[in-house]
Structure 1
């Protein structure tokens, strides 16, 4: 199987639409399609990454506070990483802290901030095959009308995309252990199972 790239994902989306592929995002022979792909791909990729905590797009980082605290509300602000797309967890597992995302910062009452987040993974070769397929469908949906001038084709691919999202999320989520709801002993005692 060939290694996935942004160009190969866009080319496969174009093939799904019955169109010619591109060689790169600056392809002079297929300039219109290359420009369409170059314009639509980054936002489509980021949108699809942001929708679900894909295992291939999750990072952990410990942030130090900025030198200048926020004007009010929280005692510290922390600069978000450049590749940040979405917060998954702030604080240690099970010990979430109060926070607020504002612009490119997180506000919190903490001296350091443990952040688990979705990052802009633009190395498609590290993606799960289901995510590659999903982004290919998303690109086909984004390109459908500009390439084919067919609203029916666009709508059909969008329906296929919605079904594929459900399957891909389920498969990706099955790789993770089940989530717990906090102190197991406390829950067991509350519901009579703890001895």
Structure 2
């Protein structure tokens, strides 16, 4: 069966022991809860991670109206936009300064390529994301429909586990990006800590003499003073 909002909500309802719904508009308590909570829960989970199946790129159309301050150009964001990941000039996925304001992107760049998260159709959800979303829906549907706090806590832990698993699987869909422009990388070739400058020789050390036991004694010691090396008096002269 192809995934849809109705199918996902029905699976979540079954997880909490409720009856599945035939339509989100049928007027039952289950349908009312699902219809009201589903859109926000779906968008929140989609926005929480740069999912590979929900990541897109496009060249943004530049608007005639310009920002009031700070930037020279304004660009219209796509209708299915959820969250920006990066922005670059023509043919580049990142590298420009920008801000998001009133569903527009402001920048000084003459052209913008946007990398962003969008809202895909439910039929495009991979199995690992669908499982995480159903678990999250069940946790959110539980209190309004069952009023069981203990069951809701258990479902919340299950949802967190499913979300971690989904992120782990999704992170393997692309080559790991190397860390760039990090201070520790530029410092790798330098010795740390820096080599200390040699200490100047002490004037007292230059005037020290060797005692009868072969130790270096300060010049203030007398021939009959106790030797610091063996704590015994040197032989009489």
Q: Give the TM-score normalised by structure 1.
A: 0.88
Equivalent position SS for 2:109: coil
Q: Name stretches of at least 5 consecutive residues in structure 2 with no aligned partner.
A: 191-237
Q: Distance in 1 between matches of 2:131 and 2:108?
A: 41
Stretches of 4+ aligned residues off by more than 6 angstroms = none
2:67 alignment partner, SS class: coil
Q: Which residue of 2 aligns with 1:63?
A: 60
Q: How big is the shift at 1:32?
A: 1.6
Shift of 1:27: 2.1
How far, CA to CA, are the matches of 2:189 and 2:2 in structure 1? 51
RMSD: 1.9
Q: Which has more helix, going by share of residues?
A: 1
Q: CA separation in 2, counterparts of 1:103 and 1:68? A: 13
1:6 paired residue number = 5
Q: Is the 8 A contact 2:53 2:124 kept in 1?
A: yes
Determine the C-alpha separation between the residues in 2 that align with 1:24 and 1:180: 47
| Superposed CA offset, 1:114-162 (max 9, x none) | 00100011x1111110110111011101100011111111111111111
Query: Aligned to 1:52, which of 31, 49, 54?
Result: 49
Which residue of 2 is the match for residue 41 of structure 1? 38
Structure 1 residues not aligned, in runs of 5+: none
RCO comparison, higher one (Cα < 8 Å, 6+): 1
Matches within 5 A, 1:28-177: 28=27, 31-91=28-88, 92-93=92-93, 95-121=94-120, 123-177=121-175
Equivalents in 2 of 1:53, 1:112: separation in Å? 23
Contact 1:64-1:111 within 8 A present in 2 as well: no
Matched residue SS, 2:17:
coil
Using the TM superposition, give the Cα deviation of residue 191 of structure 1 relative to its aligned residue in structure 2, in angstroms.
4.2
Q: Give yes or no for contact 1:59–1:118 (8 Å, CA) kept in 2.
A: yes
Total equivalences in the alignment: 184
Could you tell me how far 1:182 is from its partner in structure 2? 4.4
Equivalent residue, structure 2, for 1:15: 14
